[in-house]
Amino acid sequence: MADDWWPTWHRGGRLEELDVRECRRLLAGTAVGRLSYQTVRGPRIVPMNYALVGDSIVTRTGADTEVARIAVKQTVAFEIYQADEYLHRGWSVLVVGELRMVSAGAIRMLAPGQVPEPWPEGSRSIFLQLGIDELTGRRVHPPQ
C-alpha cells in the first residue's frame, strides 16, 4: 500500500465538528476574518474587520477596492480562526453566502457595537453584508 511509509508513531489531535451555536459564539467574539472571493485572475483572500449583526456579517471597505468592485453579488466565503501551533490546537469557522451592499437606511439602523471599525486608515464608506447561508466550524484538540 502506498501509505505504508507513514510513521506509526504519528498521532494527531481529535477533530470536532462545531455546532451552529458554537460557530455563532466564536463569530461574535472576534472582529477580524478573511474574505475569499473570485476574480477573473483567480481567487483572492483579504483580511476584513467585521461585526456579527443578526444572521449576517457586516464589513466596511473603500469604494475603490477590489472587494467593492468585484465581490459584491458573488457567493463568497468568510473565515475566522485561531491556531496554537505549539500546542497543535485551534478552531475555525466558515461562513458561505452572498455579499451585498447595505442600504443607507439599514446603516442608520445599526447600533454602535454593530458597526465594524476597520484598522487601516482611509475612507471605508461602503458597508457590505454577508448573509449566512452556510455556517460550519471545526476544532482540533491537542494530541493526548
Residue 2 domain-assigned (yes or no): no
CATH number for the domain spanning 101: value is: 2.30.110.10
Q: What is the 3-state secondary structure (H, E, C) of 96-116?
A: EEEEEECCHHHHHCCCHHHCC
Domain count within the chain: 1
- C-alpha 135/C-alpha 132 separation (Å) is 6
Residue 4 domain-assigned (yes or no): no
The set of cell numbers assigned to 25 is 459564539
Residue 1 domain-assigned (yes or no): no
- C-alpha 126/C-alpha 27 separation (Å) is 21
Residue 123 domain-assigned (yes or no): yes
- C-alpha 84/C-alpha 111 separation (Å) is 33
Residue 5 domain-assigned (yes or no): no
Per-residue pLDDT tens listing for the chain (144 residues): 555 555 555 567 788 999 999 999 999 999 999 999 999 999 999 999 998 988 899 998 988 899 999 999 999 999 999 998 888 889 999 999 999 998 777 776 776 777 777 766 667 778 899 999 999 999 998 877
Residue 105 domain-assigned (yes or no): yes
Query: Which residue carries 505549539 as its cell?
Result: 86
Q: Minimal CA–CA distance to 137: which of 80, 97, 83?
A: 80
Residues in the chain, total: 144
Supply the range of the domain harboring residue 121: 12-140
